[in-house]
Amino acid sequence: MRDFRAYQGPIPPTLGALPASTKYPPALIAAFGFAIEPGFADGPEPGVLTISDDAIHGVHLIQLQADGRDRLRTPDAKKSIGRGSTGTPIILAPMNDLLGLIVTEGIENGLTLYEATGCGVWVSGGASRLPALAAAVPDWTDCNTVWADDDPDGLRHARELRNRLAARGLTVELKLLTERRAA
């Protein structure tokens, strides 16, 4: 990812790489679960996540091209596995001292937004999974930003998440991600 996507931030423990096998291409694996930022006595340091095996509710698999430059663009290239994964985030970064939380659909966008803002980042693992995250967002978050993919499905589900968070009395705004691809 660093070589091809120019991401320079930390890789959270909720993400991992699966090497290619004779049957499957390489893949990114992401854990749906509540990663925590332990205190000094319990873990590494503030701002660093840990996740225990029993906190994982499922996994999200994204098959990659053989060279790792991009994901496969086939209908079955992304899979989410595990009961309880809907409504559970893939946590890429803990909330900072300002208690800001970004919720977005995809892992790459989440890593980019974390690197750009330093805010906490949750990923849904797909547009249809966004609204279910509303119940998981803590009441004490100060500012929630839902970043929607620039497509009808992504925007519809992002609006639903925004509306559910607003109905709980949380501060929330919706922003639109636009993607530029080389022709």
| pTM across the whole model | 0.89
Q: Who contacts 97 (Cβ-Cβ below 8 Å, separation ≥6)?
A: none
Residue 155 has a CB neighbour count (10 Å cut-off) of: 16
Q: Does residue 6 belong to any structural domain of this protein?
A: yes
Asked if the structure places residue 91 within a domain, the reply is yes
> Residue 121 and residue 146: Cα distance in Å, rounded?
10
Q: Report how far residue 38's alpha carbon sits from residue 35's, in angstroms, rounded to the nearest whole number.
A: 9
Give pLDDT tens digits for 103-154: 999 999 999 999 999 899 999 999 999 999 999 999 999 899 999 999 999 9
CB 148 within 8 A of CB 159: yes
Please indicate, yes or no, if residue 158 is contained in any of the structural domains.
Answer: yes
How many domains does the structure of the chain reveal? Answer: 1
For residue 30, is it within any domain? Answer: yes
State the residue for tokens 């993607």.
179
Q: Domain range for residue 137?
A: 2-177
Whether the Cβ atoms of residue 48 and residue 13 lie closer than 8 Å to each other:
no
- Is residue 102, in this structure, part of any structural domain at all? yes
- In angstroms, the Cα distances linking 28 to 14, 72, 157, 163 are 11, 11, 24, 31
Q: Which residues have a Cβ under 8 Å from the Cβ of 86 and sit 6 or more positions away?
A: 80, 129, 132
Residues across the chain: 183
* Ordered per-residue pLDDT tens for the chain, 183 residues: 556 566 777 889 999 999 999 999 999 999 999 988 776 555 556 677 889 899 999 999 999 998 888 899 999 999 999 988 999 999 999 988 888 999 999 999 999 999 999 899 999 999 999 999 999 999 999 899 999 999 999 999 999 999 999 999 999 999 998 865 443
Report residue 43 as tokens: 């873990």
Let me know if residue 183 belongs to a domain.
Answer: no
Q: Determine the pLDDT at residue 130.
A: 97
Amino acid of residue 95: M
d(CA 77, CA 30): 14
Residue owning tokens 């890593």: 111
In a domain, 88, yes or no: yes
pLDDT mean across residues, the chain:
88
pLDDT at 3: 60
User: Is 182 part of a structural domain of the chain?
Assistant: no
